[in-house]
């Protein structure tokens, strides 16, 4: 045999042996399919060639392999190959020059109970994979990619293990891209900076329209969740889950061109060091990058994906956690029994009386009872006195506290509130979601749970499924709420019909409904004294079913509800659900949702300024006979929006139910099962 050939064969064998011993077995496409096979995410490496057109000197830089992923739904491309990676301090991005060493598939299922929210029990299967990735040419750092595929979503996160090449995790920015296969219509929450309260419209605009259009100074900062309508493909929602130990992520379209339709991740920077976003010991797990996909936009508001991707409940005894509705003094101007502004202990007792008479579980004392020290009451409102009075009436009290003061005093304040008998806190003006800000949410939830305190976050970041881990968190605001009716027209039926599809993806919507001074568009004016709202009375009643909130306000002055038959609906409608289904809907246009509690079902439907008439089958009802108590728009409610028609009819699962809504209207129905 030829000596040169023998030497060549021997060299190949030696290289192969070394490669196998070291684990250097380059993987090709790693495809993770959903349990039903309709959705998949693929991981691979692709050539990362230097840009020699604009930078000819880069021609000598070696070609490397960068990590990418892509997503398909029902065989159609959702995400084109999109870059992955982490830019850590002191070196090039981890992900730009890598090999996939190995991968391991597995199957799993989520089985758990939710204390509050859209469902009481979850049981869902998923497929999973873990990829081992190592740098190829420019270093020896390693990371893993953990991914899951549900029938309605794919998600992945980066895991940086302990290793000699890294002392700690010091993230400058994340390099995850979302390269849409085609331009799409977005419902984008465009935010001014990283210190906002997420209280804005979801603007309907093509993704290409979110580019900076060639400018150099700024980009549109888009908050999550981001809802996308990809014509001919499906609906997509991009968000994140399980953010613990990390900073929140935003999106921006950096293409600089009217032809660009892709996003890159933007990590909320630290307030202390703008160059570093996250500092952590190793091993470190990032938040889950979540892409929900479905043929209809209605699915995401009842999906369990975000709670699936969060850790299981950390509270051993949850018996004290209760959803409910609350009387509230702030929206109506702290009016007392005589209709006068009076932020006093006696006024708060008046709201307690109203809650007790109406069967409401809570009364909320808003801002003004304390100053800079949230352990001391001002002379005007004595919180312990109100709490004790409420206890005798069977009502629990929630108190407002400023986020800055909670940062300073939670260790002192929380045990004191437990001693006072306070049920929980509405924590406002947090206005940050950098790493320290996200840590604040977890610290508050954990420490509040120790003292059996509920938490309602206001002036806050988006929801991400925290309610599974800490079910004492019963509310997040982060919504353009009814308080905007005090000053202008932003709170209106059109915007309210985007909220369920976009904002409600994560649940816990503290919109603060319950206004009974309904007026037409022409009559409306924003005012803080004797405030009014657009949309019919039935439209506002329906919010109590359509908007998922374990802690709904009853916001108006109590005297407005007295002797009003439509208030009976608010009294009896639940705040948490055993099951939820969406019967139809389109963002900004209309929606119909049915939710189950015990053996009964509740239905809410809302429309924008377009009147709608349609019929729905009641086949979601279980076998049996039902009495439907219906609160519907009166035929002339477009001109007299306070008018509600209340009636009862007998129905079965085989019945057809007619829905008639005037402009800005709605309908609320209680299907009571006959015993």
pLDDT digits (tens, 9 = 90+) for 379-425: 999 999 999 999 999 999 999 999 999 999 999 999 999 999 999 99
- Looking at 576, 593, 623, the residue that finishes a domain is 576
In the DSSP assignment, the letter for residue 674 is P
Cα 140 from Cα 153, distance rounded (Å): 32
Residues 563 and 441 reside in one and the same domain: yes
Do the domain assignments include residue 101?
yes
Residues 408 and 503 reside in one and the same domain: yes
Domain count, the chain: 2
Residues 132 and 205 reside in one and the same domain: yes
- Average pLDDT estimate for 225-236: 98
Structure tokens at 79: 């995400």
Residues 398 and 468 reside in one and the same domain: yes
Predicted confidence band at 244 (pLDDT cuts at 50, 70, 90)? very high
CATH number, position 382: 3.20.20.70
Do the domain assignments include residue 593?
no
Asked if 163 and 141 touch (Cβ cutoff 8 Å), the reply is yes
638: pLDDT strictly greater than 80? yes
Least confident of 21-30, 300-309, 330-339, 558-567: 21-30
**Better-predicted residue by pLDDT, 456 or 138:** 456
256: pLDDT strictly greater than 90? no
Q: What are the tens digits of pLDDT across the range 468-503? A: 999 999 999 999 999 999 999 999 999 999 999 999
Q: What are the tens digits of pLDDT across the range 420-460? A: 999 999 999 999 999 999 999 999 999 999 999 999 999 99
Mean predicted lDDT score pLDDT of the chain: 93
Q: SS in 3 state form for 324-386?
A: EEEEECCCCCCECCCCCECCCHHHHHHHHHHHHHHCCCEEEECCCCECCCCCCECCCCCHHHH
Beta bridge partners of 226: 238
Cβ-Cβ contacts under 8 Å for 231 (sequence gap 6 or more): 182, 184, 185
Q: How many angstroms from the chain centroid is the CA of residue 7?
A: 62
- Looking at 546, 576, 606, the residue that finishes a domain is 576
- Looking at 308, 342, 373, the residue that finishes a domain is 308
Cα 107 from Cα 125, distance rounded (Å): 8
Residues 304 and 350 reside in one and the same domain: no
Q: Are strands 454-457 and 473-476 parallel, antiparallel or unpaired?
A: parallel
Q: Nearest 10 degrees: CA dihedral of 484, 490, 496, 502?
A: -100
Residues 71 and 151 reside in one and the same domain: yes
Cα 507 from Cα 573, distance rounded (Å): 18
- Average pLDDT estimate for 122-137: 95
Predicted confidence band at 215 (pLDDT cuts at 50, 70, 90)? low
- Residue reference for tokens 């019945």: 655
Omega before residue 283 within 30° of 0, cis: yes
219: pLDDT strictly greater than 90? no
Predicted confidence band at 213 (pLDDT cuts at 50, 70, 90)? low
Cβ-Cβ contacts under 8 Å for 56 (sequence gap 6 or more): none
Do the domain assignments include residue 627?
no
Least confident of 137-146, 228-237, 474-483: 137-146
Structure tokens at 388: 């004790």
Least confident of 14-23, 85-94, 193-202: 14-23
- Average pLDDT estimate for 273-281: 95
Residue numbers of the domain that contains 380: 324-576
166: pLDDT strictly greater than 80? yes
Residues 282 and 386 reside in one and the same domain: no
Cβ-Cβ contacts under 8 Å for 28 (sequence gap 6 or more): 44
In the DSSP assignment, the letter for residue 34 is -
Cβ-Cβ contacts under 8 Å for 14 (sequence gap 6 or more): none
pLDDT at 13: 36
Percent of the chain clearing pLDDT 90 (strictly above): 89
Do the domain assignments include residue 407?
yes
Residues 265 and 386 reside in one and the same domain: no
Q: Are strands 177-179 and 169-174 parallel, antiparallel or unpaired?
A: unpaired
Do the domain assignments include residue 9?
no
Asked if 308 and 344 touch (Cβ cutoff 8 Å), the reply is no
- Average pLDDT estimate for 317-338: 97
CATH number, position 54: 2.70.98.10
- Average pLDDT estimate for 507-534: 97
- Residue reference for tokens 């090449």: 165
Q: SS in 3 state form for 255-292?
A: CCCCCCCEEEEEECCCCCCCCCCEEECCCEECCEEEEE
Cα 156 from Cα 632, distance rounded (Å): 45
Beta bridge partners of 240: 289
Cα 262 from Cα 251, distance rounded (Å): 9
Closest CA to 214 of 253, 178, 162: 253
374: pLDDT strictly greater than 80? yes
1: pLDDT strictly greater than 70? no
Least confident of 70-79, 88-97, 119-128, 660-669: 88-97
Do the domain assignments include residue 655?
no
Residues 173 and 251 reside in one and the same domain: yes
- Residue reference for tokens 């995790």: 169
Residues 36 and 162 reside in one and the same domain: yes
Within 10 A of 386 (CB to CB), how many other CB atoms are there?
A: 27
Residues 94 and 172 reside in one and the same domain: yes
Q: How many angstroms from the chain centroid is the CA of residue 562?
A: 35
Cα 153 from Cα 305, distance rounded (Å): 7
Cα 140 from Cα 239, distance rounded (Å): 31
pLDDT at 517: 98
Do the domain assignments include residue 621?
no
**Better-predicted residue by pLDDT, 316 or 58:** 316
Cα 539 from Cα 644, distance rounded (Å): 10
Structure tokens at 620: 């979601």
Residues 301 and 367 reside in one and the same domain: no
- Average pLDDT estimate for 51-78: 78
Question: Whole-angstrom distance between the N-terminal and C-terminal Cα of the chain?
Answer: 92
- Classified as helix, coil or strand, 422 is coil
Within 10 A of 23 (CB to CB), how many other CB atoms are there?
A: 11
Within 10 A of 197 (CB to CB), how many other CB atoms are there?
A: 18
Burial of 60: CB neighbours in 10 Å, binned 0-12, 13-18, 19+: exposed
Taking every pair of Cα atoms in the chain, the longest distance, rounded to a whole number of angstroms, is 109
pLDDT at 429: 98
Cα 99 from Cα 102, distance rounded (Å): 9
Q: What are the tens digits of pLDDT across the range 5-23? A: 434 333 333 333 333 333 3
Cα 603 from Cα 606, distance rounded (Å): 10
54: pLDDT strictly greater than 90? no
265: pLDDT strictly greater than 70? yes
Structure tokens at 532: 């009014």
Do the domain assignments include residue 658?
no
350: pLDDT strictly greater than 70? yes
- C-alpha distance from residue 656 to each of 113, 467, 616, 649, 673 (Å): 33, 36, 6, 12, 17
Cβ-Cβ contacts under 8 Å for 627 (sequence gap 6 or more): 648, 649, 650, 651, 671, 672, 674
pTM recorded for the entire structure: 0.94
């Amino acid at each position: 045999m030829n000596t040169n050939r023998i030497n060549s064969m021997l060299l190949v064998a030696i290289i192969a042996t070394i490669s196998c011993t070291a684990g250097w077995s380059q993987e090709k496409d790693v495809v993770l399919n959903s349990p039903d096979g309709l959705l998949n995410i693929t991981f691979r490496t692709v050539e990362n060639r230097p840009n020699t057109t604009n930078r000819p000197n880069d021609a000598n830089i070696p070609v490397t392999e960068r990590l990418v992923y892509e997503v398909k739904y029902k065989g159609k491309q959702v995400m084109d190959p999109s870059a992955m990676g982490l830019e850590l301090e002191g070196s090039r991005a981890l992900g730009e020059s890598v090999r996939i060493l190995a991968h391991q598939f597995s199957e799993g299922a989520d089985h758990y109970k939710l204390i509050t929210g859209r469902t009481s029990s979850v049981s869902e299967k998923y497929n999973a994979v873990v990829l081992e990735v190592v740098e190829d040419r420019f270093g020896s750092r390693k990371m893993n990619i953990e991914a899951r595929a549900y029938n309605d979503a794919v998600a992945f996160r980066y895991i940086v293990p302990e290793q000699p090449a890294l002392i700690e995790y010091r993230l400058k920015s994340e390099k995850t891209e979302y390269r849409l296969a085609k331009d799409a219509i977005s419902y984008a929450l465009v935010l001014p900076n990283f210190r906002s309260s997420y209280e804005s419209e979801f603007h309907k605009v093509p993704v290409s329209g979110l580019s900076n259009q060639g400018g150099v100074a700024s980009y549109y900062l888009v908050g999550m969740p981001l809802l996308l309508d990809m014509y001919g493909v499906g609906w997509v929602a991009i968000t994140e889950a399980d953010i613990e130990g990390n900073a929140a992520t935003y999106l921006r379209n950096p293409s600089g061109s009217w032809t660009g339709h892709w996003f890159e991740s933007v990590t909320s920077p630290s307030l202390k060091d703008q160059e570093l976003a996250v500092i952590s010991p190793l091993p470190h797990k990032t938040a889950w990058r979540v892409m929900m996909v479905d043929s209809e936009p209605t699915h995401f508001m009842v999906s369990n994906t975000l709670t699936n991707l969060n850790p299981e409940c950390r509270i051993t005894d949850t018996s004290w956690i209760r959803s409910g509705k609350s009387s509230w003094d702030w929206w109506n101007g702290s009016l007392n029994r005589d209709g006068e502004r009076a932020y006093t202990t006696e006024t708060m007792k008046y709201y307690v009386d109203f809650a007790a008479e109406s069967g409401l579980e809570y009364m909320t004392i808003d801002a003004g009872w304390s100053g800079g020290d949230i352990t001391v009451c001002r002379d005007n409102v004595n919180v312990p006195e109100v709490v004790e009075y409420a206890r005798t009436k069977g009502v629990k009290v929630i108190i407002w506290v400023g986020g800055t003061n909670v940062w300073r005093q939670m260790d002192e304040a929380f045990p004191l509130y437990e001693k006072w008998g306070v049920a929980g806190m509405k924590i406002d003006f947090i206005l940050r979601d950098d790493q320290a800000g996200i840590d604040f949410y977890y610290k508050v939830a954990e420490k509040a749970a120790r003292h059996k305190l509920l938490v309602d976050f206001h002036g806050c970041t988006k929801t991400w499924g925290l309610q599974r881990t800490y079910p004492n968190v019963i509310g997040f605001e982060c919504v353009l709420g009814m308080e905007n009716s005090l000053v202008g027209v932003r709170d209106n039926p059109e915007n309210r019909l985007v909220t369920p599809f976009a904002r409600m993806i994560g649940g816990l919507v503290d919109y603060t409904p319950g206004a009974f001074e309904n007026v037409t568009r022409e009559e409306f004016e924003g005012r803080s004294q004797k405030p009014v709202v657009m949309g019919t009375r039935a439209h506002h009643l329906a919010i109590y079913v359509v908007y998922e909130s374990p802690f709904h306000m009853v916001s108006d002055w109590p005297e407005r509800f007295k002797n009003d038959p439509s208030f009976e609906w608010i009294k009896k409608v639940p705040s948490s659900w055993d099951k939820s289904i969406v019967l139809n809907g389109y963002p900004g246009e209309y929606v119909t949702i049915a939710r189950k509690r015990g053996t009964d079902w509740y239905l809410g439907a809302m429309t924008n300024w377009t009147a709608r008439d349609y019929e729905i089958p009641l086949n979601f009802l279980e076998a049996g006979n039902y009495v439907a108590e219906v609160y519907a728009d009166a035929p002339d409610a477009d001109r007299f929006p306070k008018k509600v028609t209340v009636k009862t009819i007998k129905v079965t699962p085989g019945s057809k139910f007619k829905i008639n809504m005037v402009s800005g209207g709605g309908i609320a129905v209680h299907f009571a099962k006959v015993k």
